[in-house]
Amino acid sequence: MSKKVIRPYGDTENDGKIQLSFSLPTPHGPLGDEAAKALAIKMGVFDPQVVSSSALSDEFSFYIVYGTTTHLVDLDSLTVETLEHESMSKDEIETFIETHFSEPLVFVGASTGTDAHTVGIDAIMNMKGYAGHYGLERYKGIKAYNLGGSVDNEVLLEKALELNADVILISQTVTQKDVHVQNLTKFIELLEAEQLRDKFIVIIGGARINQGLAKELGYDAGFGPRKYAFDVASFAVQSLYKKERKIKR
């Protein structure tokens, strides 16, 4: 089989073995196991086996199902939206700012809407950072303002204007029923209504954020899991530099 056409495997290459996990609104027991297997079959998994099941409550249960799929994926048929920028280290970013900008760059960030989770925005902005990568507050040439969680879109924009921000960062952790998409859409609509979309570089991040979604919603960039302050700052400073050069022409 071509390496461009692939299938999952567990024991041997291309054996199609997959594992699924899900919950069902039914009590834990033999009937629930059969329901889990029936669902797997409807999803195109044959010879499904419930390898683990447990009760979540009196009326809900959780299942792990192991089975085989015949489906293939043609890698050549896929399109992936990626960011076009050079990843730089903290020191390189600081040098880039010193070389290309006469004043410190202002970054304003928040978890917006009803999202009170600040772990993501703190990891990017707070001085201590995350996983050994310092946050933006520690970067020379950057003034970082972290507004925290549950910040209304209107408040974030008002603060960005007050601080004359160059970059707006939005973190979204709560994603049930795509509430993050709704909230992010409202922020872009707010910018456009105020004719301010071109004033800022606007970047979003979160567990279910990617570049494809960011571009679809009208943002400059989107960063998902395992991204750090230097990833965000690399894109932001290069985008600001390109923006300034374009304005000067």
Catalytic residues: 128
Question: What order of strands is seen across the sheet that includes strand 61-69?
Answer: 17-24, 61-69, 45-55
State how far the Cα of 156 lies from the Cα of 186, in Å rounded to an integer.
12
For the chain, the residue count is 249
Q: Return the CA Rg of the chain.
A: 23
Instruction: Report helix, strand or coil for 179.
Output: helix
CA 226 to chain centre: 9
State how far the Cα of 170 lies from the Cα of 146, in Å rounded to an integer.
10
Residue 101 burial class via C-beta count within 10 angstroms: exposed 0-12, middle 13-18, buried 19 and up: middle
DSSP tag of 89: -
Residue 144 burial class via C-beta count within 10 angstroms: exposed 0-12, middle 13-18, buried 19 and up: buried
State how far the Cα of 174 lies from the Cα of 238, in Å rounded to an integer.
29
